[in-house]
Amino acid sequence: MTTPDMIDPEVWEHRREVLLSPTPIVGTLDLTADDILALLAEPAQLLGSASERVRFRGGITCTCVAESLPFVEQVMLDEGLIKSNLDVYQLGYRVGGTAASGGTHDRGGCTDCGQYSDRQIECWRDLGWTMQKRYVPPFDAYHAHGWPNGCPHLSAAGRGQATQWANHTNGLVSRARIQGKWPIPKWDAAMKQKEQDMALSDSDIEKVANLVVEKVFAADAIPNVTAEGVPIFTSNAKNPTVTIPTALDRTGRKLNALQAAVDALQAAATPDAPAAP
């Protein structure tokens, strides 16, 4: 029996679209009985297994996107590339959805988002996404289109684009060269590497701690004047705050003076010991 893996993805996708169209024209294609049986079974292959599909941000996508996209979002937030969140225009498992997508969103992986500036595309690529900017025309709106590199949940049309990606072409009819960083790592390896790069070593933690202590002690932030305007640590009431070292130093001096006064009082109250015979 003929299967999708035995036919060029673009040819298979065209055959599927013909069979699923409102007015099938099967006679125009040189289809065998086995071809028709295989195409009738295509919906199961299009939808994939139940374990790969997850509800995600108002739609459905695959586990690869559900795990990776929030990570990309957090990195873009950290790097100041977005203000709040990624703008997701289209997810997956949308059989018969947007015609311009050509079946690439029929299964998982392929995702359309509103973050397509050069720096944002670079970030996508660094994190293992094949995102490319899509232009107007031929599309209705500018957007970034791609999938987590290495995602096994692509539709037949998506696999065709993945083949083009591997050949350094853009996945469109033009087959133009991909712009920007290429090749890129698999999405899961890219996530792991980024997490390692972001992790702090013991030495880094010690440096940060020392820097925090240094900054805290240097900060002029300890109140020096009471609500009544009486200076606490220094004699100058015009200084509203002092540093921690200054506060500790003046407090220590006052405690030492107080201790000396207590010692003097105790000595004065103690009768002299009798002289030795």
The string of DSSP letters for 12-50 reads HHHHHHHHHSSS--GGGS---HHHHHHHHTHHHHHH--G
**Structure tokens that stand for 250 in this block:** 């003046």
* Helix, strand or coil, per DSSP, at residue 204: helix
Residue 7: per-residue pLDDT:
44
Which residue has tokens 């591997």?
Answer: 166
State the helix-helix crossing angle for 244-269 and 202-218, rounded to 10 degrees.
70
Burial code of 146-162, b = ≥16 C-beta within 10 A, e = fewer?
A: bbbbbbebbbbbbbbbb
Distance CA 51, CA 63 (A): 8
Q: Which residues fall within 8 angstroms of residue 223, CB to CB, at 6 or more apart? A: 232, 240, 241
Residue pair 62/151 in contact (Cβ under 8 Å)? The answer is yes
Q: What is the pTM of this model?
A: 0.62
Residue pair 187/125 in contact (Cβ under 8 Å)? The answer is no
Instruction: With CA atoms as reference, report the closest residue to 96 among 162, 15, 20.
Output: 20
Instruction: With CA atoms as reference, report the closest residue to 76 among 110, 113, 50.
Output: 113
- The structural domains of the chain, with segments of one domain joined by +, span 1-40, 50-195, 202-267
Amino acid at 49: S
Identify the DSSP state of 231: B
Sign of CA dihedral 142, 146, 148, 151: positive
Could you give the residue ranges of the DSSP H alpha helices within the chain? Answer: 9-20, 33-40, 42-47, 63-78, 118-126, 156-166, 187-198, 202-218, 244-269
Q: pLDDT in tens for each of the 277 residues of the chain?
A: 444 444 445 555 555 555 554 444 344 344 455 555 554 555 555 566 778 999 999 999 999 999 999 999 999 999 999 999 999 999 999 887 777 888 899 999 999 999 999 999 999 999 999 999 999 988 999 999 999 999 999 998 999 999 999 999 999 888 999 999 999 999 999 999 999 998 877 888 888 888 888 888 888 888 888 888 888 888 877 888 888 888 888 888 888 988 988 888 888 887 765 655 5
